[in-house]
């Protein structure tokens, strides 16, 4: 069965610090990979996605993620965080055309002004 692991439960950073959130998945076949963000009290919004091609994908708001197939990883990065990036971040994986979208347990990011 597919699973998604997000290593950090809660990350606290100061503004302008660099961010990297880990995501690993278990699935042997072709996968589609997503990062979603959930701002306090709001719905999930897509940050970025990887289906194929360049393993370094750029998303909205300065976020990027790198797919490393050999490590089954899809880590999210941002060079300089802002207070407005405070949110919950979810990694999600889909394997196969009829497979479910499996979410990680989320990482809460708190950015101190």
Partner 1 sequence: DTAVSQTPKYLVTQMGNDKSIKCEQNLGHDTMYWYKQDSKKFLKIMFSYNNKELIINETVPNRFSPKSPDKAHLNLHINSLELGDSAVYFCASSRRGSADTQYFGPGTRLTVL
Among 76, 90, 109, 111, binds partner 1 (CB under 8 A): 90
In terms of CB distance, is 17 or 44 closer to partner 1? 44
Q: Is 60 in the site for partner 1 (CB under 8 A)?
A: no
Question: Shortest approach of partner 1 to residue 30 CB, angstroms?
Answer: 9
Task: Name the residue with tokens 């690993």.
Answer: 24
| Residue 73 Cβ vs partner 1, minimum distance, rounded to whole Å | 20
- Which residues sit opposite 7 in a β-bridge? none
Q: Are 23 and 4 in contact (CB under 8 A)?
A: yes
Residue 70 engages partner 1 in binding (rule: CB under 8 A): no
Structure token pair of residue 89: 């971040």
Beta bridge partners of 60: none
Task: Please report, in angstroms and rounded to a whole number, the separation of the first and last CA atoms in the chain.
Answer: 41
Structure tokens at 49: 């996605």
Rounded distance between C-alpha atoms, residue 13 and residue 71, angstroms: 26
- Residues 17-56, one symbol each (x = binds partner 1 by CB under 8 A, - = not), give ---------------x-x-x-x---xxxxx--x-------
Q: Return residues touching partner 1 (CB under 8 A).
A: 32, 34, 36, 38, 42-46, 49, 88, 90, 94, 96-101, 103, 105-106, 108
């Amino acid at each position: 069965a597919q699973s998604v692991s997000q290593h950090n439960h809660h990350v606290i950073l100061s503004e302008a610090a660099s961010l990297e959130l880990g995501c690993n998945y278990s699935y042997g076949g072709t996968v589609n990979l997503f990062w979603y963000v959930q701002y306090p009290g709001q719905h999930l919004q897509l940050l970025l996605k990887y289906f194929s091609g360049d393993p370094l994908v750029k998303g909205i708001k300065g976020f990027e993620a790198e797919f490393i197939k050999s490590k089954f990883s899809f880590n999210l990065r941002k060079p300089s965080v802002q207070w407005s990036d405070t949110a919950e971040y979810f990694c999600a994986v889909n394997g196969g055309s009829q497979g479910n979208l499996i979410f990680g347990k989320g990482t809460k990011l708190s950015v101190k002004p």
